[in-house]
Chain A
């Protein structure tokens, strides 16, 4: 069947089985490969994308459930918080193998889009669903703080 939604700000209509996880629809039908497969069970976060601005695990989200909604993947990151996150990731040289990092960046961006000054506890809560087997966690935490500081410096408090 045809499922229509907005992918990275552009409308798409994909001819897919309704129960196909969004992850595979995005990868195989839409051809966007930045979102990764890690566990297939919402346990590792490698497949994290934004659905209507919220971080979700695309590996357990049937594509039929995103009909008419807004989906954003790593390829479609444009917001100021997203840019700040990616810049901080590079500045602090976060990735090692890099396979989980699209998901980490999507989770971190969703966090900063709602709160520019997250505490360590906020970061734990937002990021503990994203596994990194290279254990780049310390740098991820530092990069989220760094991106938050950058955002606050650009656009103080009221933002």
Chain B
């Protein structure tokens, strides 16, 4: 997401965010749900604790509980946040626990989103870095002052290591826990001194992830695992076309299923509530629903793409204009052109969307892998007819998201609240469960896009002109963030293209925004999920036309972009890049990207197997994400981003026929599997710059690097996604 890129906010957004913030300002700490371990630690710490700020509690039992304002959805946020705080606190890592924060924008806003609490845009570490360092240093200062007063020595004579304060000269020491009571009585210092990075003992090392043990023995708590007495499972029958509505329905068959308790209609469809999942599923299968498709989207993907293609030939708003690309193209000696077609993509997180809602006339409790806490709180309140401060969000581990849970409509949460309300808001807990079919067909896809590119070389084969037209739906349109669209440009449609880093004298990037009935959403790495592919696959074609090595060609154009150039060089060097082609049947491709201020370059190697199918064998990745907080988490995110991106460019394809989604599950919405995962090597650029995110950027370059490798191996350019449409994989 790129909410941060688009200041100042429009009045609509300011009002929306202000209202959200005002609504939650009065909230005290609600229900804490940190999983078993955090609960156990919290319970043990009950007698006395030091709570110097909103981000940490230190117990008399030496426990250190870090309050995470960001969702843990696999990206390692809990570990990263705790590492930063524990570093400045000099805490013993083995005693650090993490607990999720309640919805409260006043204390827990994402500082990149300003007044909204939420996770996205790979911003968790970058926006928390200073905040959590200060929070940890403040707690440490209180403990040190407390010890100094007890021992009547100067604070400067004390040192802290692994949750113990030492006075070496006096041969004295005190554990954090023993100082909690006296430290709690001290005033919280207004200013604290942060560590010099040379003294870091956790940051830059590989402290074990806090969530891994519970994720290896089945005890980690996801929304799926929330249960309580009298809970009903709800499955919702949604329309077969986007925009269709319920005309009428017959619930008799559903109600005849043993275990089915009730059938209710809500705005998005008809819900079956039952005592078990299976009864709800059987009940839903037996619903007879007549849908009104008067306002439904009925076009097919092919029709939409034909319209997009045509639209690319007409004038469109400008997202970037440097020099005069049209003029430069007309005088170019060599012209190169290509177009790229991208389908809708589903996020398909492993945990199908689910949440538990307990609603009464005065209060709404929600348990979810919640990504936009205060947005979801406001939307849930509206659906429930309550004030936001009457809505309590309990954020659990999310079984993946990739952007899906971060949506302005809070779709799955509002569905659950609406069902609970239709049931009478009587306090009966409702667990809304999506099936995989619901997920694949449920919309909020990465939008379809058409990209048209033209480039011109002069007589010296220098790149003088670059013209790029992008056609597709806006992600921000129709959301509370609509106001961020400026002069017809939704920056999430053009990031990575309008920001092209290559030094080219004449550049134009235009955007034609289309409207369809298909709901769309950001998908891991957002705009760069398509723009990087178009830019980096096309620059390869340009390098080829210029008769130059694609790595050297890029490198020369990045002379003024040192960080981008450095990752490109590192990836090339580690991959053993040479301008000589690989042996017959093998190919190597390179690509580089900047996303959310993180720089990533990748080299992909492929082999054409005897069967003719292409196998991705190796990916070498270089990343510069500023100060590396946890190199192992960074490496894991690059590995995962590469696997996620490969699956999408090889097979990812949501298509419509008469407005109906043609895919339904992992059989026809294919994703990467074990036997298709290449060997991945990750190299991290040492840096003392402030840290930037790693959850998304690793996805961006792998598609074009693969496209370029396939070209090197087969001579075929990949202009339509997924690549499996053009080559056997």
Chain A contact residues, CB within 8 Å of chain B: 17, 19-21, 24, 27-28, 31-41, 43-44, 46, 73-75, 77, 86, 89-90, 93-102, 105, 123-124, 127-141
Contact = CB atoms under 8 A, between A and B. Distances in A.
B671 A131 contact: yes
A93 B350 contact: no
A41 B350 contact: no
| Closest A-B pairs by Cβ, 7 of them | A34-B218, A135-B643, A99-B399, A98-B215, A97-B74, A96-B74, A74-B218
5 contacts: A43-B666, A44-B350, A95-B211, A95-B215, A137-B674
A17 B260 CA distance: 13
Interface string B665-693: 11100011111010110000000000000
Nearest to B72: A97
Contacts of A43: 436, 665-667
A86 B216 CA distance: 6
A49 to B, nearest CB: 11
A19 B666 CA distance: 23
Given A17-B258, A43-B666, A138-B677, A96 B220 contact: no
A37 B211 CA distance: 20
B666 A136 contact: no
B436 A135 contact: no
A21 B278 CA distance: 8
A138 B619 CA distance: 12
Contacts of A134: 74, 350, 400, 640, 643-644
B335 interface: no
A135 B640 contact: yes
A133 B348 contact: yes
A38 B227 CA distance: 18
A133 B350 contact: yes
B222 interface: yes
B494 to A, nearest CB: 27
Contacts of B641: 135
B218 A33 contact: yes
Given A43-B667, A132-B350, A138-B680, A98 B672 contact: no
B225 interface: yes
Contact of A133 (B222, B433, B671): B671
B52 interface: no
A37 B399 CA distance: 11
A131 to B, nearest CB: 6
B209 A93 contact: yes
A34 B220 CA distance: 8
Contacts of A90: 208, 212-213, 216
Interface of B: 73-76, 208-209, 211-220, 222, 224-225, 227, 258-259, 276-279, 348-352, 397-400, 402, 433, 435-437, 632, 636-637, 639-644, 646-647, 665-667, 671-675, 677, 679-680
A128 B675 contact: yes
Contact of B76 (A41, A96, A131): A96
Contacts of B646: 135
A24 B397 contact: no
Nearest to A21: B278
A74 B217 contact: yes
Nearest to B645: A135
B258 A130 contact: no
A28 B277 contact: yes
A28 B224 CA distance: 11
Contacts of A38: 350-352, 436
Nearest to B220: A98
Given A98-B397, A135-B642, 11 more contacts: A86-B217, A93-B209, A95-B209, A96-B74, A97-B74, A97-B351, A128-B675, A130-B674, A135-B647, A138-B679, A141-B677
Given A93-B632, A97-B73, A136 B218 contact: no
A100 B672 CA distance: 14
A159 to B, nearest CB: 23
Given A46-B350, A133-B350, A139 B665 contact: no
Contact of A137 (B213, B351, B677): B677
Given A17-B278, A135-B643, A137-B677, A36 B224 contact: yes
Given A75-B218, A135-B643, A100 B350 contact: yes
B216 A97 contact: no
Contacts of B216: 86, 89-90, 94-95, 101, 105
A87 B278 CA distance: 35
Contacts of B665: 39-41, 43
A23 to B, nearest CB: 9
B682 to A, nearest CB: 10
Contacts of B277: 24, 27-28, 37
A96 B636 contact: yes
B677 A133 contact: no
Contact of A97 (B349, B647, B671): B349
A42 to B, nearest CB: 10
A110 to B, nearest CB: 14
A135 B643 CA distance: 5
A28 B666 contact: no
Contact of B674 (A75, A97, A101, A128): A128
A20 B276 contact: yes
Contacts of B673: 128-129, 131, 137
Report which residue of A105, A134, A141 has the largest number of chain B beta carbons within 10 angstroms of its beta carbon. Answer: A134
Nearest to B632: A93
B349 A133 contact: yes
Contact of A136 (B224, B636, B671): B636
Contact of A99 (B258, B351, B402, B632): B351
Contacts of A128: 673-675
